[in-house]
Amino acid sequence: MAATITAFDHSPDRGRGLARDMRVRWALEEVGQPYTVLSVPWAAMKHPDHRARNPFGQIPTFHEGDLALFESGAIVLHIAERHGGLLPDDASARARAIAWMFAALNTVEPPVVELSMAFLVERDQPWYEARRPMLVERVQARLRELSDHLGNADWLDGAFSAGDLLMVTVLRRLGSTGLLDGYPTLAAYIARAEARPAYARAFAAQLAAFNAAS
Per CB under 8 A, residues contacting its own copies are: 51, 55-58, 66-75, 77-78, 92, 95-96, 98-99, 101-103, 105-107, 109-110, 113-114, 121-122, 125-127, 130-131, 134, 142, 145-146, 148-149
Is 92 or 214 the residue whose CB approaches its own copies more closely? Answer: 92
- Shortest distance (Å) from residue 148 CB to its own copies: 7
Cα gap 73→100, rounded to integer Å: 11
Is 47 or 149 the residue whose CB approaches its own copies more closely? Answer: 149
Is 14 or 82 the residue whose CB approaches its own copies more closely? Answer: 82
- Closest by alpha carbon to 112, among 136, 145, 130, 147? 136
Cα angle, residue 70 at apex, residues 64 and 72 outer, rounded to 5°: 105
Long-range contacts of 43-51 (CB under 8 A, 24+ apart): 50/6
- Shortest distance (Å) from residue 214 CB to its own copies: 28
- Shortest distance (Å) from residue 154 CB to its own copies: 16
Cα gap 83→148, rounded to integer Å: 31
- Shortest distance (Å) from residue 103 CB to its own copies: 5
Is 92 or 152 the residue whose CB approaches its own copies more closely? Answer: 92
Give whole-number Cα distances, 168 to 6, 41, 163, 203, in Å: 21, 26, 9, 13
